[in-house]
Amino acid sequence: MVEPLLLVGVTVAAFVGYNIGGATTGPAFGPAVGAKVISKSGAAALMSVFFFVGAGTLGQRVVTTLGEDLVTGANVFTLETSIVVLFFIGGALFVGNYAGVPASTSMTAVGAIAGLGLATGTLDWAVMGEIAVWWIVAPIIGFWVSGVIGRYFYPTIDQWVAIESTDGSLIEIDRSGALPRPVPGPNTTRRELVGGVVVIAIGCLMAFSSGTSNIANAIAPLVGAGVEMTPMILLGSAAVAVGAFTIARRTLDTLGNDITELPLTAAIVVAVVSSGIVISLSAVGIPASFVIIATMSIVGLGWGRATRTVTASEGLRGKKRPNVSVGALKVDEISEIGQGDPSDIPSAADLFNPATSARVVLMQNVVPILSTVGALVTFSLLFAFLW
């Protein structure tokens, strides 16, 4: 009876890992893909590698914490309860991925485990409260920091960075030698290449941080039930890689293209803000809501740029022009006012899509609620049969 249950548990854990790959690849590499710095396949490959590195190192500590600290009962995690918890985690994440919206794996997993703790009276409210407070505060910080940057500092940063996307690929594969090697594209400038490397490196850092926290969401219940940790980390990381190469393409589109246009400068801003918050929370032992923070940073930057009011005299090579208010123009676009076709100037709607942003925020709250309520109701009804 134990072996079939274990097989079912491992299968459900792999399904959760698959959906984690779909949900977290977008926030990590969506800015880079949206800025055409890297392809979706390249993003998936880097996500797979750095997620595994994070999972195999710091991720082990998070697995232990999530499998033991949040729920205090000695024998709460069994193979049966673990399978049910993982089922609700994977099912809820699949709903978000199918809708093309990356949901928070941490919120979804903790919600399902909290549902088990509520049903059995073993939830540690102090731990849960501390996590919940930071889940509320961190996305707000990400939104407003990015919004302020987009509204007041983006043109200055854009001038500092001075990276303009050129036609063609940023990096190409040279197959003329014995081994294929990456080389700059034919039109790639040095500044563009440096900026691209920076935003990819930050994406890799975010993938690493995702591995440190999100591997626990796939395997912690089974490890808490007594399954050995190392094989489960290998299994979970492999499942994440499959998700990154398949279903993550939808979330990469959503976060890289649909919410807001992301030139390379914007991609760097989003990556720095969101990864900085995630790393800060990880340093103090808080399981970061990786997806929510990154997504709200993108939304905040788009909102800030869309609501910014500038004058046509800004950046006009020293020429004075009438003060004409325009929405969220890039520095190079501002310099062309009065010289080109006014219809070419992007509107606020081009830089910020409220409908898509509302759909993202709604789904990212619905998915964790589905896992929490589903687990709570199920364990409340089946409590007598499981113990």
CA distance 92 to 273: 27
**What local confidence, expressed as pLDDT, does residue 347 receive?**
47
Whether 201 is in a domain gets the answer yes
Whether 364 is in a domain gets the answer yes
Contact 179, 186 (CB under 8 A): no
Phi, psi (degrees; rounded to nearest 5) at 314: -70, 130
Pinpoint the alpha helices (H) of the chain: 2-34, 40-56, 59-68, 79-98, 105-120, 125-148, 154-161, 190-224, 229-245, 248-253, 264-283, 290-307, 331-334, 348-351, 354-386
Whether 340 is in a domain gets the answer no
Whether 347 is in a domain gets the answer no
**What local confidence, expressed as pLDDT, does residue 327 receive?**
34
Three-class secondary structure of residue 81 per DSSP: helix
pLDDT in tens, the chain (387 residues): 457 888 888 998 998 889 888 878 887 787 678 767 788 888 999 999 999 999 998 888 778 777 777 888 767 788 888 888 888 877 777 776 676 665 677 777 888 888 888 888 888 888 888 888 888 899 899 999 999 998 888 888 877 765 556 666 666 677 777 787 777 767 667 777 777 788 788 889 889 888 888 888 889 888 888 888 999 999 999 999 999 999 888 767 765 555 445 566 777 787 788 878 877 777 666 777 776 787 788 788 888 888 776 544 444 444 443 333 333 333 333 333 333 344 444 444 444 456 655 666 666 667 677 778 877 888 787 665 545
Q: Look up the domain containing 79 and give its range.
A: 2-307+353-386
**What local confidence, expressed as pLDDT, does residue 346 receive?**
46
Where do we find the tokens 């080389």?
183
Domain count, the chain: 1
Whether 275 is in a domain gets the answer yes
**What local confidence, expressed as pLDDT, does residue 255 receive?**
57
Q: What is the DSSP string of 160-200?
A: HH---PPSS-SEEEE-SSSS-EEEE-TT--HHHHHHHHHHH
Per DSSP, what are the bridge partners of residue 386? none
Whether 220 is in a domain gets the answer yes
CA distance 255 to 77: 36
Whether 382 is in a domain gets the answer yes
Of 27, 256, 328, 301, give the one whose Cα is nearest residue 150: 301
N- to C-terminal Cα separation, the chain = 16
**What local confidence, expressed as pLDDT, does residue 361 receive?**
62
**What local confidence, expressed as pLDDT, does residue 332 receive?**
36
DSSP state at residue 259? S
Contact 223, 63 (CB under 8 A): yes
Two tokens, residue 377:
């109701």
**What local confidence, expressed as pLDDT, does residue 262 receive?**
55
**What local confidence, expressed as pLDDT, does residue 320 receive?**
41
Which residues lie closer than 8 Å to 300 by C-beta, 6 or more apart? 142, 143, 144, 145, 146, 147, 150
Per DSSP, what are the bridge partners of residue 123? 71
CA distance 86 to 8: 10
pTM across the whole model: 0.70
**What local confidence, expressed as pLDDT, does residue 71 receive?**
83
Whether 348 is in a domain gets the answer no
**What local confidence, expressed as pLDDT, does residue 120 receive?**
82
